[in-house]
A and B are shown apart, each in its own frame.
Chain A
Amino acid sequence: MTTEDLTDLDALASLTDRVRRQAYTVVADGSGPVGRDEVAEALGVGRTLAAFHLDKLVAAGLLEVSYARRSGKTGPGAGRPAKLYRLAPAEHAVSVPPRAYRTAAELLAEAVEQAGAEETLYRVARRHGRRTPPGAEVTELLTGQGYAPVADGPERIELRNCPFHRLAEQFPPVICGMNLAMITGLLAGAGLDGEWAARMDAAPGRCCVSLSKK
């Protein structure tokens, strides 16, 4: 293992504590930065204990901190800004024995791009998505695939996590196109394509695809 792997292992090992892992999940599921009071309430523990675990997660590099006044008040009497937590952008993976699937994925993506084989990739991705069993509810389906869906009103769903993030940053048209094709396939496989449509809807800080009610 390399030194870098060991740092990643340290980061992930900080999640072995059950309460801390739940605290991480509460932040990860939040639609924005989350305060210790919300985490304490969700976990049914005291605020001091919640803050302890959140700060451990910051030290491990899994969360980062920001400060904001939550009441909307400003000036004297508005109180101190609250300490808020959100996911850190860094990714952590540890593999024993060493495996380099990301390098392989980068080479394949570059080859697809050079050859202009995007249509084939999209077709493969659509077919792959369609193999999902029917019957799942839309949020359940997308959560299961790691997209962290969040409803934006009753007619639209945004996806807060991109499962292919690093690769999508390097090869946006290829990987985002593949992603759209896969989600389209997933909706068809689950029998939800009569109700929901996926489309390209790129914006900073979330997945490039969103869903709209048909």
Chain B
Amino acid sequence: MSDFHLAQINTARLRAPLEDPSMIDFVEGLTLMNALADRSPGFVWRLADEGGDGTVAAPGDPSRIYTLSVWESPEHLRAYAYQSQHLEYLRRRRDWFHPHGSQAALVLWWLPAGQIPTLRQGISRLGRLQADGPTPEGFTFREMFPAPQLAPR
């Protein structure tokens, strides 16, 4: 067991409200993909609303959505996100989301095992990545930073 886990937040801006017919495949996929995440190896925790849904809207902007989760390692998150049925939903993301342009849409960071991040912390990490580029406090799959080493006891 590692002393640190990997947290991730990602964000998207919806093309239409979730009730819109064009969003049906996305909305139906949410339940399936939440369930897949929950049973994936290395899954630790995800933010969920009262109904258990892991896609949470920004306070004050229903078109801005977030997912926030914690994994044992980058390999576990990668296996779920990119080496499972989830990839097909990612492939179709333009059907449902606006392009994010040069805005940071996903950020990863290390946190001590057992801790749980808040949405506010996640959003601030996105801002940090946007402002400073990848750092040990916020990075991406393409520019990873290793987990911190605890000082020897």
Contacts and interface: CB of A to CB of B under 8 A. Distances in A.
B90 A173 contact: yes
B39 to A, nearest CB: 16
Interface string A159-196: 00000000001101100110010000000000000000
B88 A204 contact: no
Interface in B56-88: 79, 81-88
Contact of A208 (B87, B94, B102): B87
Interface string A23-35: 0000000000000
Given A170-B141, A172-B82, A200 B100 contact: no
A118 interface: yes
| Main SS class of interface, A | helix
Contacts of B152: none
A13 interface: no
Contact of A202 (B87, B93, B98, B100): B87
A101 B59 CA distance: 44
A115 B90 contact: no
Contacts of B86: 202
Contacts of A103: none
Contacts of B100: 114, 116
B99 A202 contact: no
Given A202-B82, A202-B84, A204-B79, A173 B91 contact: yes
B153 interface: no
Interface in B17-34: none
A137 interface: no
Contacts of B146: none
Nearest to B101: A114
Interface string A197-214: 000101110001000000
A204 B63 CA distance: 33
A172 B90 contact: yes
A207 to B, nearest CB: 11
B142 interface: yes
Contacts of A116: 94, 98-100
A115 B99 contact: yes
A203 B141 CA distance: 18
Contacts of A208: 83, 87
Nearest to B91: A177
Nearest to A180: B91
A41 interface: no
Nearest to A113: B99
B83 A202 contact: yes
Interface string A98-120: 00000000000000011111110
Nearest to A177: B91
A176 B91 CA distance: 8
Contact of A114 (B84, B93, B102): B102
B101 A172 contact: no
Given A173-B91, A202-B84, 9 more contacts: A116-B100, A117-B99, A119-B94, A172-B82, A176-B82, A176-B87, A176-B91, A202-B85, A208-B87
